[in-house]
Amino acid sequence: MMEGTSVWSLSGPASFVRDVAQAATRGQHTLVLLPETMLADANLRADLRERIAELVRARALSVFDPDASDLVAALSDAVYLGDDVATLPELLTHDEVAGRAFVLDASELDSRHRKQLADLLRRLDAESRAVSVENRATFVVLAGLDDGLARAGDASGGVALRTVWFWNRVARWDVAAWLKLHDPARDFSSLASEIRLETVIEAARWNLSRALALWKGWDGSPGHLLGLVAVGEEGPSGDLPSFASDHRIKPPAGCAEDWNRGMVEFWHGAMTLLPAGPGLVRSDVDRLIWQAQVRVLLPWIELQRIRLVQATRERLGAERFAEQVRLYDASSNSLEDGGDVVEIGPLAFILVRTLGKTAPQFTDTAHVLRKARNKLAHLDPLGTPEISRLVEVTAWLR
């Protein structure tokens, strides 16, 4: 993780941190459930812990004695209470911690203490209900699904203990910003880089670790991408559950393990499977590449069309250009309602008729733009040479 930067400053993850902080500042003990792919990244966990601590004005706990007799003793030692505390009620209401908040990463706990975490959370909920927030400590716990933690918050009814899932939190722009954060030296402004970025997002989606691996390791060819993404665990079997109102805030029943493995997410308004895994074939990868190219190239081609129309109008003169458009419209009836938009097909025809011999640069540009747009319209991705040619022939329009 680069110093002074964080993925948690972005829109989707930032809302997650705010949700956690709001619960903690209300005095609710908060269980933060993260998927395996995030738990595996120690830097990311540490950054998340510090961000939450900053918002809640809490203390981030990071050192736990593995020789402590139990988890209560380990926590007491971590907050500098030591042997003065023997029970959970004493830990909660000690003068040194009353009214304060603490953030701990369960991954840092010894395995013996982690097994006690689910029970500790249930006890925290029970012991805290009768004590005002000002007179007790509040704990935020970063953890995964192991040791029955998925049910720890749900069973409490959300009174003194709340569970916040990292579900429906990452958007396309978050993944893009994550990659830019980890590769600041790369030029992201070129057309090729934009297409590469969108392709990686199509293949990795919400899986930030996979996105970074693809971004740095993919050589740009469809065959190599297939080799990189057609690996790992099989996805969920059967259909996804039908939508329910709480699916926006946590995985539906039966999907928690698949979410934990990074296979299922609520991605841009719908429950979605990760589009990668052992079952992928070349046609699947071609479709991913096509989807990425459409997102970038169709708007880009439209921008070049607008510029080419303007250049043509200036070269022919406004009156002659308008006359050519009227002639084409009358002969082909292809311009709807005589509208002002001259599509790339009619424009190419007009250019051949008017400037084909005197200004071949115009006709070449129109031909390449038209060919690329038509290929994409037929669900066919462009190759690297075709994309390079697009950049080359339109350079004069900038």
- Provide the CA 132 distance to its chain's centre, in angstroms: 38
CA distances 62 to 53, 77, 92, 362, Å, are 12, 11, 19, 64
Q: Beta strand 264-266 with 271-273: parallel, antiparallel or unpaired?
A: antiparallel
357: Cβ–Cβ under 8 A, 6 or more apart, which residues?
Answer: none
If the chain, 398 residues long, is cut into consecutive pieces of 10 residues, what is the mean pLDDT of each piece?
A: 48 79 91 89 85 91 90 91 83 92 93 92 91 94 82 60 90 89 86 95 90 93 93 69 72 85 87 85 95 96 96 94 88 56 92 91 96 96 95 93
Q: What residues does 272 pair with on adjacent strands? A: 265
Can you list the pairs that 329-334 forms with residues at least 24 positions away whose Cβ atoms lie under 8 Å?
none
SS3 state of residue 212 = helix
- Please say whether the beta carbons of 355 and 363 come within 8 A: yes
Write down the pLDDT at residue 155: 46
SS3 state of residue 280 = coil
Candidates 163, 178, 192; CA nearest to 8 is 178
Please report the sign of the dihedral spanned by the C-alpha atoms of residue 361, residue 367, residue 368, residue 373.
positive
Write down the pLDDT at residue 7: 56
Write down the pLDDT at residue 338: 47
- Please say whether the beta carbons of 230 and 280 come within 8 A: yes
For the whole model, what pTM was predicted? Answer: 0.83
Write down the pLDDT at residue 272: 87
Q: What residues does 103 pair with on adjacent strands? A: 60, 140
CA distances 197 to 122, 167, 192, 376, 389, Å, are 44, 23, 9, 18, 20
Residue with tokens 């959370």: 121
